[in-house]
Structure 1
Amino acid sequence: MDDEMNSMYMNGVWDLVELPHGCKPVGCKWVFKTKRDSSRKIERYKARLMVKGYSQREGIDFKETFSPMSTKDSFRVIMAIVAHFDLELHQMDVKIAFLNGDLDEEVYMEQPNGFAEVGKEDLVCKLNKSIYGLKQASRQWYLKFDRIITKNGFKENTVDRCIYLRVNGSSYIFLVLYVDDILLASNDFDLLIETKHMLSTHFDEGSW
């Protein structure tokens, strides 16, 4: 829980403010999960702070929620290309993907249970960025990711908007986005490492 709250503070996810007149804050809750390895041994305990998205009001707390997602058929095509041309294949996991999304709406949230700031218990969290559980969280993350990727030379596929391609001379790299997982396939190891470095400077990656 402390790690999750540190991520919130480090990323400036919210500011504590007085609740504006006529506004209603959405609630939040803690979700706990035990991460295990392939032999079922406990790797770590994970706590996730989530907004109670069901209490959001359409047109007030959110407008658009649609976010594209790569299809299984597209994934199979990329894997076939990787196998046929013997491409280098890497995977990245964005640890706090949704916290990268910027919000277009004004959303107010109650302070997390057990972490209300002393002396400011009557204040609420004005969200600056999306957070897990928000109805628009996935969409805002995708828009932020798409904007950064296309600025760095990647072209979006016209059929599957979660597949990107960057060509540099005879070198090329595919990027497949599936929610907060990123798959990279390239015929140039240096280009792949360069892309991973670019991603890690913009997003807090987990492991690959």
Structure 2
Amino acid sequence: CLFSCLLSSIEPANVAEALRDADWVSVMQEELDQFARLKVGRLVPRPEGKSVIRTKWIFKNKKDESSLVIQNKARLVAVGYSQQEGIDYDETFAPTAFLNGIIKEEVYVGQPPGFVSKQYPDHVYALDKALYGLKQAPRAWYDVLSQFLIENGFQK
């Protein structure tokens, strides 16, 4: 019980609910720390004439076989359904669904709800790498993986 007693057993219905629970704030911050560690994007002034994709939080409790909560998980995702083919992305097909590939298009996403910079509240993130929910994310990862495998003697 020691470890599981430190976890929140309730999945928040929205960001406001999550921000009232220190356990969820902690896992949200961990997700943002990983975002920074992997250099997924840079905070930049909002570009004129470019679409900015909203972001949202997804909250999930991971449970063991006896339905005991073993991990709280918060994932920041792009609201990709707002992207327009030919404007925000070109190609989406990929035979894999892995993410974190390098994206070729200019993609801007809003700051995470509940974690907007006090110093730069009107800035957005210019993405260098794919974010969950982007239409081109699977293709971006497939391209990186394919290049690595070919460079290491594998064939398509």
TM-score normalized by the length of structure 2? 0.77
Report sequence identity in percent.
43
Within the candidate set 51, 55, 71, 1:28 is matched to 55
- Which residue number corresponds to residue 68 of structure 1? 95
| Structure 1 residues 149 and 111, CA gap change in structure 2 (3 angstroms) | same
- Which residue number corresponds to residue 132 of structure 1? 132
- 1:36 Cα deviation after fit: 1.3
Query: Which consecutive aligned stretches of 4+ in structure 1 deviate over 6 angstroms post-superposition?
Result: none
- 1:134 Cα deviation after fit: 0.2
- Does 1:59 find its partner at 2:86? yes
Within the candidate set 17, 38, 45, 1:18 is matched to 45
- Does 1:3 find its partner at 2:30? yes
* Residue identity matched to 1:107: V
* Residue identity matched to 1:105: E
* Residue identity matched to 1:124: V
Structure 1 gap segments, 5+ residues each:
71-96, 157-208
Question: What is the CA RMSD across the aligned residues, in angstroms?
Answer: 1.6
SS at match of 2:43: strand
Contact 2:93 2:139 in 1 (8 A): yes
- Which residue number corresponds to residue 105 of structure 1? 105
CA deviations 1:17-61 (Å, max 9, x no partner) are 112221121101000111112232221010110000011121121
CA deviations 1:126-185 (Å, max 9, x no partner) are 1111100000111111111121122223334xxxxxxxxxxxxxxxxxxxxxxxxxxxxx
Structure (1 or 2) with the larger CA radius of gyration: 1
SS at match of 1:125: strand
Structure 2 gap segments, 5+ residues each:
1-27
